[in-house]
């Protein structure tokens, strides 16, 4: 059995930066509070908690006069969070991904121009909710074609469309095409993360070359879920696993080539645990797909 590893997988630069900043803050000797999860990965969050970082669901959960540090997640937050943190006299460490910052800025500018901001993304995702906040609450989230049809857009309505940073480019393209059927003045903005595009392309290319594709990452991770969907769409047997404990040996039966990729929030140590088990399987030998 040959093990092939996708050229682009695991921590992206934005997540790596957020994780590094978070660990450094834990050594500051002050109380550190993480609003929600820094990234969508249970193993990463558990490691941060073990470093003494406390997770809070809302700023009201932070004791007054704590003189603490507030960690803003890589997914970003609405602008009012910064105002609330200032009122609580919290030092803010902002680990928002630069690509998410770009989407926030564009959403704000689009709304200021009088356009209707449409965000192609997952309605319940914190990144998307944060972008809506930067639009002044004017943005509308559309996940699928049916959502666009329900909007009743007017032909002369000015629209600005942008994407959640982890959206698949093909899906975003289909959505923009549909939006242009209902509105004539549509401004399109490229807010899909460059690392996401490379990761998706590499995963698709690898999936076409193997008998089994394993996608490693948290079930809550939007970009990991997208990778699994794209790999499965190639027709290759695909499974998403959060940790090595979810790897079922029976999946490997009769497979000559197994491909492995991982979401942008999946740490290297989790990926290596999966690779170690695969390489210990009969005839398991691994290499990078770019070799």
Report pLDDT digits (tens) over 168-220: 889 999 999 999 999 999 999 989 988 888 999 999 999 999 999 999 999 98
**pLDDT tier, 164 (very low <50, low <70, confident <90, very high otherwise):** very high
Q: What are phi and psi of 219, to 5 degrees?
A: -65, -25
Average pLDDT over residues 218-245: 94
**pLDDT tier, 246 (very low <50, low <70, confident <90, very high otherwise):** very high
- What does each C-alpha distance from 184 to 108, 155, 156, 160 come to in angstroms? 21, 6, 6, 11
**pLDDT tier, 291 (very low <50, low <70, confident <90, very high otherwise):** very low
CATH number of 2-10+194-288: 3.40.1010.20
Domain ranges of the chain: 2-10+194-288, 13-97, 99-188
- What does each C-alpha distance from 8 to 42, 118, 275 come to in angstroms? 21, 29, 15
pLDDT value at 224 more than 90: yes
Catalytic residue among 127, 143, 169, 268: 127
DSSP 8-state secondary structure symbol assigned to residue 10 = S
- The Cα–Cα gap between 183 and 155 comes to 4
79 and 129 in contact (C-beta within 8 Å)?
A: no
127 assigned to active site:
yes
Beta bridge partners of 241: 216
Pick the CATH number of 13-97 from 3.40.50.1860, 3.30.9.10, 3.30.450.40, 3.40.50.11270: 3.40.50.11270
Say whether 13-97 and 2-10+194-288 share the same fold: no
Pick the CATH number of 99-188 from 3.60.15.10, 3.40.50.720, 3.40.1010.20, 3.40.50.300: 3.40.1010.20
Give the pLDDT score at 283: 60
Rg (Cα) of the chain, in Å, rounded?
A: 21
Average pLDDT over residues 61-81: 89
Give the pLDDT score at 217: 94
Q: What's the pTM?
A: 0.82
CB neighbours (10 Å) of residue 197? 16
């Amino acid at each position: 059995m040959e093990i092939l590893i996708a050229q682009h997988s695991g921590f992206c630069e934005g997540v790596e930066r957020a994780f590094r900043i978070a660990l450094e803050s834990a050594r500051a000797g002050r109380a550190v509070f993480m609003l929600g999860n820094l990234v969508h990965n249970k193993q990463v969050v558990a490691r941060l908690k073990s470093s003494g970082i406390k997770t809070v669901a809302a700023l009201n959960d932070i004791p007054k006069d704590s003189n603490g540090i507030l960690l803003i997640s890589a997914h970003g937050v609405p602008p009012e969070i910064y105002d609330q943190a200032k009122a609580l006299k919290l030092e803010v460490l902002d680990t928002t991904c630069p690509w998410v910052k770009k989407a926030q800025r564009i959403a704000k500018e689009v709304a200021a121009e009088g356009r209707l901001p449409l965000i192609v993304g997952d309605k319940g995702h914190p990144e998307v909710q944060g972008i809506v906040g930067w639009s002044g609450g004017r943005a509308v989230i559309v996940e699928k074609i049916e959502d666009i049809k329900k909007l009743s857009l007017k032909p002369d309505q000015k629209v600005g469309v942008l994407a959640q940073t982890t959206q698949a480019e093909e899906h975003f393209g289909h959505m923009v095409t549909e939006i242009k059927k209902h509105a004539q003045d549509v401004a399109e903005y490229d807010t899909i993360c460059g690392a996401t595009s490379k990761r998706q392309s590499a995963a698709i290319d690898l999936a076409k070359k193997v008998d089994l594709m394993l996608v490693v990452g948290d079930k809550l991770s939007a970009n990991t879920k997208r990778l699994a969907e794209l790999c499965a769409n190639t027709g290759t047997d695909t499974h998403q696993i959060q940790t090595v404990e979810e790897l079922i040996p029976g999946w490997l039966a009769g497979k000559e080539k197994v491909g492995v990729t991982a979401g942008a929030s999946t740490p290297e140590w989790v990926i290596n645990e999966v690779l170690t088990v695969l390489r210990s399987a009969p005839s398991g030998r691994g290499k990078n797909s770019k070799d």
